[in-house]
Structure 1
Amino acid sequence: MWKIGDGTQVNICSDNWVPGGGPLIYSHFLFDELSLSKVSMLINHDGHCWRRDLIELVFNPSTTTSILSIPLSMHGGSDVFYWPGTSDGQYTSKEGYGFLRKLLARDEASSSTTVILAPKFWKKLWASRALPRCKETCWRAISGYLPLKERLFRRRVDVDPSCSFCAAELEDEDHLFLHCPAAKQVWFASQLAVRVDLFSSFKEFWLAAVELDDDDAIATIQATVYALWEARNNICFKQREFVVAGVLRRVSNSMEEAIVRDRDRGPMAALPAKWQKPALGTIKCNFDASFHDRGPSGLGMVARNSDGEVMAAVCSFPITTLSPLLAEVMSMRWTMQLAIDLGFRRVCFETDCLQLFNHWRASREGRSYLSSIIHDCRLLLSAFDSVSVYFVRRTGNTVADFLARNAETYANLVWVEEVPVAAFHLVFSDVMTQLPVGA
């Protein structure tokens, strides 16, 4: 779809540019009377913002909200096509394939026979201590994304649909991971000693495992699923024999590898859990954004000096945006502009959004709205004598988080050398953690 730059190339009615993909609903009489044609006519180019009054006059509330949620670059730029399925807006064949798989999954989920898992079950899957490859394989098995022979045969791929282990029945998730005699041996001989014949489907087995609320058992199950899948592929593509002891050894190795990974995990574990004072002469600006699917969002920023004293605090409400990540990057641009207006020249910016920090650190150009706003932020850097951007834990960003979440209450208020009374304890707590023991 079109990403709006200056809007001169995009036709309001005939081009695909409004998020959501729904039809534009507008007043035909006003539309024709005002001779509206290009999106540029809906933009105030002096302030690089939407002409809200005009948009609200012409379009219905739903379309108005969608249009106003599109973030405009401060520097305009050309209209370009982008792929909305990725954060950088770049299309690849992999992304196209993923998009088609999501459509297929949605169609399958709409059938009455499909069991929809609650979010907590997916959260347990991804939060486990297992290796990422084990978690992904388990997720693909539950979601029906593995290229099993029965599925390939049903899609008219020339392949024998029988099980790779026993060749006695069709190879699907339920048989390969549960009902096959080879899989039963593995589960019963494992440290879990599971009698899987008590379950009718692999999904039912996973639901029962999550209900146990045993993190070690969940990680072991994921490692076992991966080991079975690997053994199946070794039979299909490397003509190796199936050996139960070999599969169990692979499970054990995966669990040991996960333990070593957790023990040696990088700098994320070493991040401070509390706010830290900036260097002498530097102002630290913490910022955050709140995001609401069905309503306006808010931004919050607090600036403090090397003594921990508050220089300024600001809330902005309302803002409309397309996603939580876009809200975060808009908060970053807004904070940088505030720092310039406040006369700060040596600044440290901190965010608790890891996705934003990774995009900032990647320094690669993209075609998305996210890339455009990050580009705006990079252009603002020239206004500072010294600038740095860091990622912190949420517990090191509590004041900005409070301001963002309560932006509606303190809509567009500015505090100089203070914060709202309700946030006093958060500032006090940040300062007290900097004092030596016994002070």
Structure 2
Amino acid sequence: MVAFNKTLVAKQVWRVVQNPDSLMARILKARYFKHSDIMEAGLGSNPSFVWRSLLWGRALLSKGLCWRVGTGEKISAKLDPWIPGLSSFRCNNNTLLDGNLKVASFISPNGSWYDSIIRQIFSTPEAEAILDIPLNRRGCTDIRYWHGSSNGKYSVRDGYRLEANSFAPPPSQSSHSLLSWWKVIWQLQEEFEVFATVSWAIWSDLCKLLHAPKLLPVAIDVGWAFSLLGAFRMASESCKMLPMQEQISADSLWKRPNVGQVRLDLDAGWDEANNIFSVGAVIRDSQGLLLGAKAKLVRNRGSIKGAELEAIRFGMDYCVAQQFANVCIFSDSLQAVHAVSKPEEELGSVGALALEIHFMLHEHNFLLIHHMKRSANGVAHLLAHKALIWLSNLDWVSCGFPTWLLKAVEHDLSLTS
């Protein structure tokens, strides 16, 4: 109960963090933190019970808050949590850093990291984690986000999970034994099916006991359970032997853009074994003919959604460089499309990237960004996959396309009405 109450109070602190211009936030600021914010404020003199309670809840919130890097002007490189790739979100006792040094010192005017400087000052794991943080090249405000959720928003559920885990006792020997027992059960699939069926039969008997005057003997029901399981397996095998009739829905096929428009298909690839990411972009005209294809290896953006957003920005940069107009953008990542459509809802580390893409859509007169099924994105997927296999960047414009790429395009056109 104490942990739940603390998560509720932390929610109020979160609202002050996210809405600094609200009436409650302004009243608290005028009284307790005139020259800072609620996450940095002290207890003060003669504090009220409400303020003491908020600081109590703030202790929980501070465990999961991390800065999203925009311009970096508000973030202390040494003291603040801002590196999501590290467990503590902070650099570890770096004597080369001053407490007043801001993260902005490591960002170049064109909105990229100073790679060589970062590698000189930070340890290798810290430097790699920093360079993986996506930046908004146009600059945006530094904001705090909750690291424990996919969209960066704090919720009572996430807060309770974090607080409960903080006070959870170490697992006992019995719990380890129970876990091992369940692992064995799940590995024995056939025996577990029997166990589950018999258990269901016994449960069915219990229901009959409550709602029917007579109960069949358990032995009869166990036999009936085995016969039921056998019938189920026979039916399953029969279904496997039946020929599958392939049905292709219209929305699973690639579609030509309208006359006068070009279509940009995008995808990200991931080599999980080596933790390498790639992005691919394919541009085709209203006849379905290739105008350009490009792929490259990119840094790990912390998530598949981050990689898909990187692919969108990569493709848009490609279109701008080649001066393509009336471009329709397609991605098979629904999360990335939603993040670009509503960047204000994406508070996490990739939110800065989504915000930049959102402004690029309007700045360069791109048409709307659409979601498509993976089955309709075979060419971009293949392109990104080739970059992973060959560990190299790929680039073709107008002509000289390889045979394997042309065959993939022809396959799309053969299925298009």
1:250-273: CA deviations, max 9, x gaps? xxxxxxxxxxxxxxxxxxx95533
Distance 1:213 1:299 in 2: 45
Matching of residue 48 in structure 1 with residue 69 in structure 2: no
Report percent identity of matched pairs. 22
Q: Report the equivalent of 1:299.
A: 279
Aligned runs of 1:209-358 on 2, under 5 Å? 270-292=249-271, 294-358=274-338
C-alpha distance after superposition, 1:114-152 (max 9, x if no partner): 15988xx8xx9xxxxxxxxxxxxxxxxxxxxxxxxxxxx
The CA distance in 1 between the partners of 2:326 and 2:170, in whole Å, is: 53
Q: What TM-score does the superposition give when structure 1 sets the normalisation length?
A: 0.60
SS state at 2:101 partner = coil
In the alignment, does 2:391 pair up with 1:413? Answer: no
Q: Residue deviations 1:340-379, cap 9 Å, x none? A: 2221220111111122234445565342233322221121
Superposed CA RMSD: 4.2
Count of aligned positions: 314
Secondary structure, in 3 states, of the residue corresponding to 2:282? strand
- Kept in 2, the 8 Å contact 1:271–1:392? The answer is no
8 A contact 1:19–1:66 mirrored in 2: yes
Cα separation, 1, equivalents of 2:326 and 2:412: 21
Aligned partner of residue 65 in structure 1, secondary structure? helix
Change beyond 3 A, Cα 1:96–1:347: same
Say which SS state the counterpart of residue 176 (structure 2) adopts: coil
Alignment match, 1:79: 142
Matched residue, 1:7: 72
Gaps of 5+ in 2: 1-65, 190-194, 209-214, 238-247
* 2:159 corresponds to 1:96: yes
- 1:368 corresponds in structure 2 to 348
Q: CA deviation at 1:386?
A: 5.3
Q: Is 1:22 the equivalent of 2:87?
A: yes
Query: Shift of residue 316 of structure 1?
Result: 1.7
In 2, the alpha carbon distance for the partners of 1:75 and 1:194 equals 70
8 Å Cα contact 2:86-2:126 kept in structure 1:
no
Q: Could you tell me which amino acid in structure 2 is paired with residue 424 of structure 1?
A: L
- 2:281 match: secondary structure: strand
1:65-144 correspondence runs (5 A): 65-99=128-162, 111-115=176-180
Change over 3 Å in CA distance of 1:178–1:51 after alignment to 2: same
What is the rounded CA distance, in whole Å, between the counterparts of 1:105 and 1:304 in structure 2?
56
Report if aligned partners of 1:300, 1:316 keep a CA contact under 8 Å in 2: yes
Alignment CA distance shift 1:212-1:396 (3 Å): same
| Alignment partner, residue 185 of structure 1 | 206
Alpha-carbon contact 1:340-1:383 (below 8 Å) kept = no
Partner of 1:37 in structure 2? 101
TM-score, normalising length: structure 2: 0.63
1:62–1:393 distance in 2 versus 1, CA, 3 Å: same
Structure 1 position 393, deviation (Å): 1.6
Counterpart CA distance in 2 for 1:288 and 1:413 is 14
Q: Indicate the SS of the match to 2:405.
A: helix
CA distance in 1 between counterparts of 2:374 and 2:200 reads 45
1:188-220 deviations in whole A, cap 9, x for unaligned? 99xxx9849x9xxxxxxxxx99x979889xxxx
CA distance in 2, matches of 1:106, 1:406: 48
Distance 1:27 1:88, change over 3 A: closer
Counting only pairs closer than 5 Å after superposition, residues 385-404 of structure 1 correspond to structure 2 as: 385=365, 387-404=367-384
